[in-house]
Structure 1
Amino acid sequence: MHSSAVFLIEFGAVILGLGLLGRLAGRFQFSPIPLYLLAGLAFGEGGLLPLGASEEFVATGAEIGVILLLLMLGLEYSASDLVSNLKTQYPAGLVDAVLNALPGAIMALLLGWGPVAAVVLAGVTWISSSGVIAKVLGDLGRLGNRETPVILSILVLEDLAMAVYLPIVTALLAGAGLAAGSVTLAIALGVAGLVLFLAVRYGRLISRFVSSDDPEKLLLVVLGLTLLVAGIAQQLQVSAAVGAFLVGIALSGEVAEGTHILLSPLRDLFAAVFFVFFGLHTDPASIPPVLLPAMVLAVITAGTKITTGYWAARRAGISTRGRWRAGGTLVARGEFSIVIAGLAVTAGIEPSLGPLATAYVLILVVLGPLTARWTEPIARQVTDRLAARRRPAPTGAVEGDGVARETVDDSDAVGRRS
């Protein structure tokens, strides 16, 4: 009875605190994610008031939060949209891998950690946080923007690449032979391909099966199906996030609209819990010794992610403002990076890798929502100032016409909401 009461007090205090932090962030018109993470640091190991009884429940809630974030993201697009975007954006996925994995690998080698640690840190710096970015896109009202499909295509390519990468890393860390690693990889690829095939080929049948006029039944069936697919995917070495995303794209029409309305409050609740959980497992005392290399790596890979998004959006014909928004949105790292680093820590290949990865992710998961919001306005101001210096004395009509044309182009690029 006592432990139950402590659990209710602790978890109630966390939820109440998150609500107050969300209101504070809303008042100042910025994403609440950094505040949620700082709250996690305060309640985690080495923090001001460590949690005890409710930590296990928070961990489960965090997993559900990531799954719901990706489900809701998948509901925004149909299966045909996904296949079309993947066909057209795969070069962006290759550029993303090269630009963002290499800095991590090089840093590990410079620190003398060896090739296996280099492969691990490459994954940490490569993969953006689908959970954080999904939340940021919703907070900033950009789900309808023209650059958003480009962002989602890169995220999906990264998530699908994890189906290949994670079995390889697991085999390297375990010292497994080529045969065992190949079997694990084949299973992962087969499961990911099967789920994608079912989503594309039988999406309408799935929507018909799920459909219900009763909101309660629709909620239970969709939530149960999503958790079931995510759990099976994770059990078979495929990301649970990939499974949830594919369930989302498999649903269409009125089912997708109804699901979006019903699950939005649950998504917001469990997403906030996810970000708190991330902070809970970061010991503030482990950050200072690795802060300098983590900051250097964060600055470099923030730049490479912005470059990746800008290049991909430009290739898709998005306007200049949309290109900067795409690049700034991709900066955040999160859940996948921590999973990858956790594998290395468990294997014990390099004691400093865990704290470095944690500090690195913490920096970018706080910086990511800020770059998503401010990269485009800052780039526009810098561009305008440079253009003003290069221009000769203004000649009224011509100058005004040029400004008008640029304004129209940017407005078209934003889509439904900016």
Structure 2
Amino acid sequence: MGHLPDLIRDLALILMAGATTTLIFKKIKQPLVLGYIIAGFLVGPHFHFLPTVADNENIEVLAEIGVIFLLFSLGLEFSFKKLMRVGGAASITAFVEIAFITIAGYYAGRWMGWSTMDSLFLGGMLASSSTTIIIRAFEELGVKTKQYARIVFGVLVVEDIVVILLMVLLSTIAVTQQFEGSEIVFTIVKLLFFLALWFIAGIFLLPTLLKKAKALLDEETLLILSIGLCLAMVVLATKVGFSAELGAFIMGSIIAETTSAERVEHLTKPVKDLFGSVFFVSVGMMIDPQAIMQYGWPVVVVTLLTLFGKLFSTTVGALLSGQPLKQSVQVGMSMAQIGEFAFIVATLGLSLGVISDFLFPVAVGASAITTFTTPYLIKFSEPLYFFLERILPERWIKRLQAYSAGTQNIQAETDWKIALKSYRNIILINIVFLLILFWLSINFLLPYLSGTIENETTRGVVALAISFVVALPFLWALMAKKPENNSYKELWLDRKYNRGPLLLIEASRVLLGGVLIFVWAFQLSSNQVAIMVAVPVVMAILFVFTQRMKNFYRRLEERFLGNLNAREIESANSMSSRVSQKNADFQTRLAPWDAHIVQLQTPTHAPFIGKPLSELQWREHYGINVVYIKRGEDLINVPGRSHFILPFDQVGIVATDAQVAGFKPVFQEPDPKQNRNSNIDINDIVFEQLVVDEYTKLRGRSIRDSSLREQTNGIVIGIERDDLRILNPDSTTIFEWGDVIWIVGERDKIRALRNQKAARG
């Protein structure tokens, strides 16, 4: 018999244990992550009643692959544009919460006598909440359509990216053992620089590659390509000093901007689920019951800090962002749990060898407790608000309401604000491009030329020529590109008041470009003559070839924006996309009214189907307004009194949370007539016949007037008349003597109809 490697035996054990526990957890409606962790404990070294994993090193490698695919999948769902679309309220709430809980976690660790690194990683572990647990709780409690849920989902998006950055900072601090502010600032700047480099290069190259090879990319090839790209970025990230997780996340976010994002996400999901389960099982394998008992006090402290610290900080963040007190409390109560990222952060610390083993059982214990408390916290958020409203001084409540109303009022942007924002974008975007080119010139171009050109002056001239030729379009944009909006044009035409400040801005841009050119030339060449020649030559080329630079830059810009927006452009003609964009715009404008748009899908057997809106009188009874009805790819905008609703229509209503709560049960209530038949077994539906004679009293009546449909809860399939068979007869067909009627209906009702016939006979 051949030898079976330990890896295969261990993988079989892990997957079977994981499958068994997840089936149980699905049955009891608990998060699958906890099921995997318990499965890991059962097959781990600290539980002796079941077979144990033989080779932990192989499992650790598989678990690391699992983390990579978890972060890759997160990037596919994330995308940087999604972060840009998150509202200011969610961003402010997230940053306040993350800053508070991270600092509080660090000092809690120090208070319990932990080391500096243990305390830092504890803060990082507490920084994120669990998207999976929150979504499951929202669905079970039916609050996904409430206004505060939109803020919660926005906070989760911001948390994802911030926790990725925290992981990079923690790994850097762990490796360098440097805690100085200057070192951390340098790490952040370096990280942002590489994020920009990878993102820009990826958007320039990857969508074009996928577009060109679209005809060749079947499911197998696309799967291999996407996983290859993910792992290649992982290797690149580790080469430049960042974590593998960051590389996976970046590649996922780049692919998320392409038209292949949905296909890649669909294809890689089984891979992510497989290796992700191995990772969470490996987390469970590290659980030591004795350690949990030994560190029971830290588990309690971390749990209480998570519950009350997150509740407090998130509520305060929501209040600062201008949300009403009730909505802020609801947001705070929803976020009080530890997310799956806690295990990834802890795994990072253990792999670097900088944290203690007890952090894992502490994280798992706190996560398990907060998982079970989350639904109850969400459920009791409204009673807590009413309690606060009773005990807080009335003047505080009024001030909070006034602050919320003031911050949520939409103020029209002035022309100067719009123009200055455009100038800011032009300068920042092109500065980033130029810094990337400058870094590439110093680190790649100069070393290459040093090995091929011996003469220092010649080498400097060649380096200057190559680098500036590539940089010219971005230098032109930095120094001369004008904002392309009406606000700038109107300001420029108003010579008396605006020409002076605008000319000052233009002069400052030219000066900034000149300084950058001089510094660039000085770094690439030590020959003063070459520098003094290069600077005026570059400036002269920019001036003489302005139009060509403008045209070339426009082509680059169109290429980049086309790739960046390809996904949106592809779906721009779809009604769903346009409705979603319009809903997002309306949500912002409705904020001061304490109302929002909710889109509800019409149930199959709703009692109001086919009835005109004038008859339903929803606005009069429930205070809601129907603003659109989306039927497939058709949109009925502001439907009138005569419009009606059909099954599966997407109905957009404007209402407050209270009005939605009162209206949803009415909207989703099934037709009681359909409910009476909902428990009928398929075997009770029969194909039977009736004869038109003196007992049935059907002669001379049409199918429609015969009431056979109501009496049998069925339909007439056919009529046999002498030698003629009529299939699916029209409802106006008149029954004649001797007709044999074939009916598909309920056995009991057809039998009752026959019994009535027999009784009359």
User: Is residue 336 from structure 1 mapped to residue 345 from structure 2 by the alignment?
Assistant: yes
**Deviations, residues 104-138 of structure 1 (Å, cap 9, x unaligned):** 3323433445xxx23541332333587x9365467
Q: How far off its partner does 1:256 sit?
A: 1.1
TM-score, with length taken from structure 1: 0.75
Report the counterpart of residue 271 of structure 1 in structure 2.
Answer: 276
Q: Please say if residues 90 and 154 of structure 2, whose CA atoms lie closer than 8 Å, have aligned partners that are also in contact.
A: no
2:657 aligned residue (389, 400, 406): 406
Report the counterpart of residue 194 of structure 1 in structure 2.
Answer: 197
Q: Please say if residues 313 and 323 of structure 1, whose CA atoms lie closer than 8 Å, have aligned partners that are also in contact.
A: yes
Of Structure 1 and Structure 2, the greater strand share is in 2
Secondary structure of the residue that 1:46 maps to in structure 2? Answer: coil
Report the more deviating stretch, 222-231 or 242-251.
242-251
Q: Please say if residues 129 and 336 of structure 1, whose CA atoms lie closer than 8 Å, have aligned partners that are also in contact.
A: no
Report the more deviating stretch, 117-126 or 221-230.
117-126
Give the 5 Å matches for 1:273-312: 273-310=278-315
Report the counterpart of residue 361 of structure 1 in structure 2.
Answer: 363
User: Which consecutive residues of structure 1, in runs of 5 or more, have no partner in the other structure?
Assistant: 348-352, 391-399, 413-418
Q: Please say if residues 118 and 359 of structure 2, whose CA atoms lie closer than 8 Å, have aligned partners that are also in contact.
A: no
Report the counterpart of residue 394 of structure 1 in structure 2.
Answer: none
Q: Measured at CA, do residues 123 and 259 of structure 1 come closer, stay the same or move farther in structure 2, by a change above 3 Å?
A: same
**Deviations, residues 346-403 of structure 1 (Å, cap 9, x unaligned):** 35xxxxx62442222112332354355443123245557888999xxxxxxxxx979x
Q: Measured at CA, do residues 47 and 188 of structure 1 come closer, stay the same or move farther in structure 2, by a change above 3 Å?
A: farther
Give the 5 Å matches for 1:67-106: 67-85=68-86, 91-92=92-93, 94-106=95-107
Secondary structure of the residue that 2:277 maps to in structure 1? Answer: helix
Report the counterpart of residue 125 of structure 1 in structure 2.
Answer: 123
**Deviations, residues 216-253 of structure 1 (Å, cap 9, x unaligned):** 01111111111221233244342333322222222235
Q: How far off its partner does 1:36 sit?
A: 1.3
Report the counterpart of residue 675 of structure 2 in structure 1.
Answer: none
Secondary structure of the residue that 2:335 maps to in structure 1? Answer: helix
TM-score, with length taken from structure 2: 0.44
User: Which consecutive residues of structure 2, in runs of 5 or more, have no partner in the other structure?
Assistant: 393-621, 625-654, 664-761
Q: Measured at CA, do residues 222 and 25 of structure 1 come closer, stay the same or move farther in structure 2, by a change above 3 Å?
A: same
Alpha-carbon distance in 2 for matches of 1:107, 1:282: 22
Q: How far off its partner does 1:280 sit?
A: 1.5
Report the counterpart of residue 240 of structure 2 in structure 1.
Answer: 236
1:327 aligned residue (330, 335, 338): 335
Report the counterpart of residue 58 of structure 1 in structure 2.
Answer: 59
Residue identity opposite 2:116 in structure 1:
A
Q: Please say if residues 61 and 274 of structure 1, whose CA atoms lie closer than 8 Å, have aligned partners that are also in contact.
A: yes
Alpha-carbon distance in 2 for matches of 1:290, 1:313: 34
Residue identity opposite 1:280 in structure 2:
M
Of Structure 1 and Structure 2, the greater helix share is in 1
Residue identity opposite 1:335 in structure 2:
I
Q: Please say if residues 87 and 154 of structure 2, whose CA atoms lie closer than 8 Å, have aligned partners that are also in contact.
A: no
Structure with larger RCO (C-alpha < 8 A, sep 6+) = 1
User: Is residue 38 from structure 1 mapped to residue 47 from structure 2 by the alignment?
Assistant: no
Give aligned pairs, total: 390
Report the counterpart of residue 25 of structure 2 in structure 1.
Answer: 25
Q: How far off its partner does 1:53 sit?
A: 3.8
Q: How far off its partner does 1:258 sit?
A: 0.9
Secondary structure of the residue that 1:238 maps to in structure 2? Answer: coil
Alpha-carbon distance in 2 for matches of 1:4, 1:41: 24
Residue identity opposite 2:105 in structure 1:
G
Q: How far off its partner does 1:300 sit?
A: 0.8
Residue identity opposite 1:22 in structure 2:
T
Secondary structure of the residue that 1:354 maps to in structure 2? Answer: coil
Alpha carbon RMSD of aligned pairs, Å? Answer: 4.3
User: Is residue 377 from structure 1 mapped to residue 407 from structure 2 by the alignment?
Assistant: no
Alpha-carbon distance in 2 for matches of 1:183, 1:73: 26
Report the more deviating stretch, 57-66 or 206-215.
206-215
Report the more deviating stretch, 224-233 or 306-315.
306-315
Q: How far off its partner does 1:288 sit?
A: 2.1
2:218 aligned residue (206, 214, 235): 214
Q: Please say if residues 78 and 249 of structure 1, whose CA atoms lie closer than 8 Å, have aligned partners that are also in contact.
A: yes
Residue identity opposite 1:229 in structure 2:
M
Residue identity opposite 1:242 in structure 2:
L
Q: Measured at CA, do residues 226 and 159 of structure 1 come closer, stay the same or move farther in structure 2, by a change above 3 Å?
A: same
**Deviations, residues 269-288 of structure 1 (Å, cap 9, x unaligned):** 22211111112223333332
Residue identity opposite 1:194 in structure 2:
L
